[in-house]
Structures are given as structure tokens and as C-alpha cells.
């Protein structure tokens, strides 16, 4: 955002433009106020809160990092290893009250993420009950993921709608400026020129906010939503592999293979981590030779 603003203002100053001309509070009130109004009209309160949370999340970056995948795979391996040794009833005790589970306590990031925690616990609890066919459980998780993906897309669609509306709102501001200019016809040329410049700034601001700021933010949020879906997909593959009888170490390997490449851990790194004692800290990321 700083680069966008610096490039536009810098190029304007290179052409000896006057920055004072661009400072038009009335145009900002018209465009900004109308944009906020359209958001309030088009979205219920829950989506407004999701939008605020999503935009705040852009500052800290995507939570679905390589370390997050390693942490999740280690937790699932420990959970499944216990289930394989002591039976699914032992794992069921962990998912019934994760806060008291030593396995979940060793992974505080997952324990604090209530959405991920509920996805894992609900799926393992259903599998442990033994009354749902693996195919039906897979369909159940897939439906859960589709709902989550739909929910994550709502803030993106809302911001995209605002971005699409901004050029039109800029034209509204420009038309109002032209109306004011027409009322000043016959006055000094300098005064008419200032009013025409103010009207054009409205169009400029609408287009700039659309393509320089709000549109890119919506695109960024869309990518974060895709990363979230990929993360849940890896959890789903791991859980379903174990439910079908796959050994825990193979189950996490299958999940690793569907992990996006830019955050995918190495085979030996994941295997070494899984073999560590529960509660041991994550190993430092391996450096390239």
C-alpha cells in the first residue's frame, strides 16, 4: 500500500503537480462515506465482524505456515499412535476434553484455534463411535469443509463488491463537482479551474481506491481462504487415512503429500518430528545445503 501511494504521489510530483489540489476532504466524505454505507447495507453484522477480523489478519500474515503444518501433523500422529496402541476409546477421551489432554496441551496453537480443534475432535469422535461408515465420515468432513470455505469467502465477496462500487461512487462525486462548477460559470477562471480539478479528483480517488487498495486486499483475502481450505484438506486426508486402517506414520505422510508445496515439510523432517516424545519442541527448519 505504501508503494502504491509512493509511486502515484512521486510520479505526480515529478510532473510538478500540486499536492494541495489532491486534498479534497469533501470528495473523501462522499466516496468514503458512501462506500461504508454500501457495506452496511449489503452485509449482516456477522459478516462485518468477519471482514474486520480478516483485514486485521493481513497484518500478521497467513497462519497456515510450514510450522503450523508440522505442529498439526505431529499432534495427529500422537493422537493416532495412542489410539492404535490403546484403542479408539483412548483417543475419544482426548477429543472429549482437549483442554485436559496431554496431547493437545503440547500444541497450544491448535488448542487455541477453536475452529480447527472442533473439526479434528468432531471427526475423531464420530470415527470412535463406530456407527458411521468411513465413506460417510469422509462425506461429512467434505461437507464441513465446503461450509467453512463458503463462510471464508463472504468477506472476500463483500470487499470485492465495495471495490467494484468505488469507481461508480467516484463518478458520483465528480458529477456533484461538475454541478457546483456549473453554478460558478461566469466567475474568475481560477475559481472554475479549482472546482473542475476538485470534481476530477473524485473520479481519481474512486479508481485509485478500487484498483490500488480495496481490490488487492480482497484478492489477498481470497488467497488466505484458499490456504485455509488446503489446510483442512490435509487434516481430512490424515484422519481418513487412519480411519481406514493406515498406520499413523503413513497417515501423516499422506497428509504431507497434499500439503501446498511452499509450506510442505520434508519427509525425513516430518518422520523425525513424529518419532520425538510428545511435548518436545518443534525442530528448527532445515536449511538448504
Residue 163 contacts residue 215 (beta carbons within 8 Å): yes
Residue 123 contacts residue 240 (beta carbons within 8 Å): no
Q: What is the pLDDT of residues 113-143, one digit of tens each?
A: 999 999 999 999 888 887 889 999 999 999 9
Q: What is the pLDDT of residues 74-124, one digit of tens each?
A: 999 999 998 888 877 777 888 888 888 889 999 999 989 999 999 999 999
Decide: helix, strand or coil at residue 133.
Answer: coil
pTM: 0.84
Radius of gyration of the chain (CA): 27
The conformational region for residue 259 under phi > 0 = left, psi -120 to 50 = alpha, else beta, is beta
Question: How many CB atoms neighbour CB 86 within 10 A?
Answer: 11
Contacts of 217 (CB under 8 A, 6+ apart): 55, 58, 159
Amino acid at each position: 500500500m505504501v508503494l502504491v501511494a509512493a509511486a502515484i504521489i512521486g510520479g505526480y510530483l515529478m510532473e510538478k503537480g500540486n499536492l494541495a489540489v489532491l486534498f479534497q476532504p469533501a470528495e473523501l466524505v462522499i466516496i468514503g462515506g458512501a462506500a461504508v454505507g454500501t457495506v452496511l447495507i449489503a452485509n449482516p453484522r456477522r459478516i462485518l465482524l468477519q471482514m474486520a477480523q480478516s483485514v486485521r489478519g493481513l497484518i500478521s500474515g497467513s497462519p497456515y505456515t510450514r510450522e503450523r503444518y508440522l505442529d498439526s501433523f505431529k499432534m495427529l500422529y500422537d493422537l493416532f499412535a495412542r489410539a492404535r496402541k490403546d484403542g479408539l476409546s483412548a483417543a475419544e477421551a482426548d477429543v472429549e476434553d482437549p483442554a485436559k489432554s496431554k496431547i493437545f496441551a503440547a500444541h497450544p496453537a491448535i488448542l487455541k484455534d477453536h475452529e480447527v480443534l472442533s473439526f479434528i475432535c468432531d471427526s475423531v469422535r464420530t470415527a470412535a463411535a463406530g456407527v458411521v461408515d468411513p465413506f460417510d465420515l469422509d462425506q461429512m468432513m467434505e461437507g464441513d469443509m465446503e461450509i467453512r470455505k463458503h463462510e471464508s469467502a463472504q468477506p472476500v465477496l463483500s470487499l470485492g463488491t465495495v471495490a467494484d462500487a468505488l469507481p461508480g461512487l467516484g463518478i458520483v462525486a465528480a458529477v456533484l463537482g461538475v454541478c457546483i462548477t456549473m453554478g460558478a460559470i461566469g466567475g474568475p477562471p481560477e475559481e472554475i479551474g479549482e472546482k473542475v480539478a476538485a470534481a476530477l479528483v473524485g473520479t481519481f480517488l474512486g479508481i485509485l481506491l478500487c484498483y490500488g487498495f480495496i481490490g488487492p486486499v480482497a484478492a489477498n483475502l481470497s488467497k488466505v481462504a484458499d490456504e485455509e481450505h488446503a489446510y483442512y484438506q490435509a487434516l481430512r486426508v490424515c484422519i481418513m487415512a487412519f480411519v481406514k486402517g493406515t498406520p499413523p506414520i503413513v497417515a501423516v505422510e499422506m497428509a504431507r503429500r497434499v500439503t501446498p508445496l511452499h509450506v510442505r515439510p520434508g519427509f525425513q523432517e516430518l518422520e523425525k518430528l513424529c518419532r520425538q516424545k510428545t511435548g518436545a519442541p518443534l525442530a528448527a527448519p532445515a536449511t538448504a545445503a
